[in-house]
Structure 1
Amino acid sequence: MRFKVAYLPLIALLAACSSKPQTPQEMAVEKAPKGGFLLEPSHAVQPMFGDFAGNPAAEQFINQMVDKHGFDRQQLHAVIGQAKRLDYVLRLMDRQAPSYTPPSGPNGAWIRYRNKFITPDNVQNGVAFWDQYQEALQRAQQVYGVPPEIIVGIIGVETRWGRVMGKTRILDALATLSFNYPRRAAYFSSELETFLLMARNEQDDPLDLRGSFAGAMGYGQFMPSSYKQYAVDFNSDGHANLWDPVDAIGSVAHYFQQHGWRSGENIAVPASGQAPLLQDGFKTSYSVSMLAASGLSPQGSLNGNNQVSLLRLDLGTSYQYWYGLPNFYVITRYNHSTHYAMAVWQLGEAVSKARQGSML
């Protein structure tokens, strides 16, 4: 993944000796082999080429990177000129917010979601990951206060512990969404800016890095902005590398610490009773006394919290209610979904129990 900025490759030297004149595109790529950023700026600026040539948003972005961060214009032309517009990325983004009609009754939505992640094979893969990186997980808990089962749960839900980290070139995804997706162009342009800064600082080749169709990276699927704020060099090799499992473990733990994780406290507590008339979701806030008056009572410690969220899980034949505590809300900062947060927690718990059973 990493490369050292060096002399022009042999193929470029051979091309220079050829009598055949080079096109502007060939000259631009030669100046920044494989999309890398050279230490010395180039001087003869060739016009933009590739899928984003003539795109006003791309030109504006390049001007910003030159003026704000001192990038060399020719090298940016060479890098972004090699980026591809991915129409499937645009289609997938449009599907992210489908119209939603609440069901008239329970239909098993939570069970279907849970069964995507908590399977015997997946749990055993989680045990293997935990065993392999036990030292890093324990150290992350000591440094950041986040238990191993939460870190294992996040990485399991996000990438199946590194098995599914995405095959889309991040540069292609972010350029497509920055320059051809007006609805969220400002957000993705900022992510592309941070991504290119990361590549320059870490001496990564931006054309080599792959992730999700939206630009998420590594074991924990951090967006570039999350990398900038929360990624840590947890293996002390001088780089914060999200594709390294140890760095990913430390970075996920740091993310949770910075979002207010409360060490040693519960995450959610099941409720006895039903409250069909109350609004539910991780964003809700009810006093414990109000929920009691509505017929609910906790089946475990609320750790002294008097304000909680009301969570409702669809079991197919009925609804199950939970008291959501601050740590549950912290998990939703990673992905704003009650189902997601519950799956992370329960997957981590399932891996922990299976691991303890295998050690008996």
Structure 2
Amino acid sequence: MEALPADAPIDLAPVPFEVARANFVRDTAAKYAIAPAVIEATLSRAQFLDSVVSLMSRPAERTKTWAEYRPNFITESRIEGGRAFLATHRDELQRVQARTGVPAQIIVSIIGVETSYGGFTGNTRVIDALYTLAFRYPRSGNPARAAYEYKREQFFRDELAQLFALGREENLDIASLTGSYAGAMGLGQFMPSSYREFAVDGNGDGRRDLFNSYDDVFSSIANYFLKKGGERGGWVRDGAIVARAELQPGYAEFNPETWTPDYTLADLAQRGYRPLDPVAPDATATLVSLEGSAGKQYWLGFQNYYAITRYNNSKMYAMAVYQLSQAIAGKEIPPA
């Protein structure tokens, strides 16, 4: 289960399930110092779920426009629910904001988008979801997708292994944990690897509990924002998130391939983009184009916008989180 070099050839030939499972037990036991018998005993209780295979193999939907996407997440009930959640947990959230610089309303917005403030965190056993995707990840039969599907299966196999490590480290009965059909858990929907890497003991009780401890959940989401950016860096205290922009007539639209904020205002001006909101003159940004209900919307996305995309690598997800946070904070947001 060691990561392959980026340029290493991949053997896509199928491995019999019994062999793959035995290799998994051996490798997980060696990597995380867990007795093979313990792994075997837990896997014997895991079930393959056809529902998980079906959900994972659904054809990709037509990419929604921003005007279609935003109403799924920014509704009056979700805004009011966010304000109520923020009011209930204001003290804990303010402590985390003061310590990390991540605004309380951003943390609340993530929980709102991911689980409707804890209203639905998933009802699939995590061990079943990861066991299914680790050993029966759906194959389309399309040669062009074979390498991608192989890598996805290996990703879930590693997450399954990390679930065993997480169980040992946090003294969790991993066979009883529930979450999404893809294995994400808790109010913030952390995968096992993210739980292990970014979860924080926010209340000092010696545990990192992303299911029941709001202190731990809030601190862990903030820590994710701070550290997930890698060499690029994470959340910047008091930093801007986005600014509206316009494209000057006669210029072609610019669509960056990533959301890293690598472009100076001069770079963007040469491409025809002008900020409509006040922006620090030394700021760097990426360009975000959205299909709104009244036509194209253009935004400059700064380092903190990039930090939100590390939670979910989608420009519309990041914008939805930002705008929901603004609405929760009582600020006016533009029409979709």
TM over 0.5: yes
Distance 1:286 1:69, change over 3 A: closer
What's the RMSD between the two structures over aligned residues? Answer: 2.2
Question: 2: CA distance between counterparts of 1:58 and 1:344?
Answer: 39
Q: Which residue of 1 aligns with 2:205?
A: 237
Aligned-partner residue type, residue 343 of structure 1? A
Q: Does 1:67 align with 2:42?
A: no
Provide the residue aligned with 1:247 in structure 2. Answer: 216
Whether 1:154 and 2:110 are equivalent positions in the alignment is yes
Partners of 1:351 and 1:186 in 2: CA distance: 39
Q: Which residue of 1 aligns with 2:291?
A: 314
C-alpha distance in structure 2 between counterparts of 1:55 and 1:241, whole Å: 34
**268, 271, 283: which one pairs with 2:259?**
283
Residue in structure 1 matched with residue 183 of structure 2 by the alignment: 215
Contact kept, 8 Å, 2:287 with 2:300, in 1: the verdict is: yes
- Tell me the secondary structure at the aligned position of residue 108 of structure 2: helix
- 8 Å Cα contact 1:265-1:303 kept in structure 2: no
Relative distance call for 1:298 and 1:134 in structure 2 (3 A) is same
Question: How far does residue 153 in structure 1 lie from its aligned partner after superposition?
Answer: 1.1
Separation (CA, whole Å) in 2 of partners of 1:327 and 1:201 = 31
SS in 1 for 2:51: helix
Quick check: 2:248–2:274 contact (8 Å CA) kept in 1?
no
**Aligned residue in 1 for 2:70:** 114
Q: By how many angstroms is 1:294 displaced? A: 4.0
Mean Cα displacement is larger for which, 328-337 or 198-207? 198-207
Report the secondary structure of 1:272's partner residue.
strand
Aligned to 1:42: none
Q: Is the 8 A contact 2:39 2:164 kept in 1?
A: no
Does residue 296 (structure 1) correspond to residue 273 (structure 2)? The answer is: yes
Q: Does 1:256 align with 2:225?
A: yes
Shift of 1:274: 4.9
* Cα distance in 1, alignment partners of residues 38 and 192 from structure 2: 21
Percent identity for Structure 1 against Structure 2: 39
Residue 153 (structure 2) aligned to one of 158, 180, 185 = 185
Letter in 1 for 2:193: S
**Bigger Rg, which one:** 1
Q: Aligned to 1:200, what secondary structure does the other structure show?
A: helix
Residues 247 and 253, structure 2, Cα contact 8 Å, conserved in 1: no
User: Are residues 305 and 161 of structure 1, via their aligned partners in 2, closer, same or farther at CA, if it must alter by over 3 Å?
Assistant: farther
1:290, distance to aligned residue in structure 2 (A): 3.6
Are the counterparts in 2 of residues 149 and 352 from structure 1 also a CA contact under 8 Å? yes
Quote the Cα distance in structure 2 between the aligned partners of 1:59 and 1:321.
Answer: 52
Q: Given the two structures, how large is their TM-score scaled by the length of structure 2?
A: 0.82
CA distance in 1, matches of 2:248, 2:53: 42
- 2:146 is aligned to none
TM-score, L = length of structure 1:
0.76
Asked if the contact 1:191/1:225 (under 8 Å) is kept, the reply is yes
Instruction: Please give the secondary structure, in 2, of the residue aligned with 1:115.
Output: helix
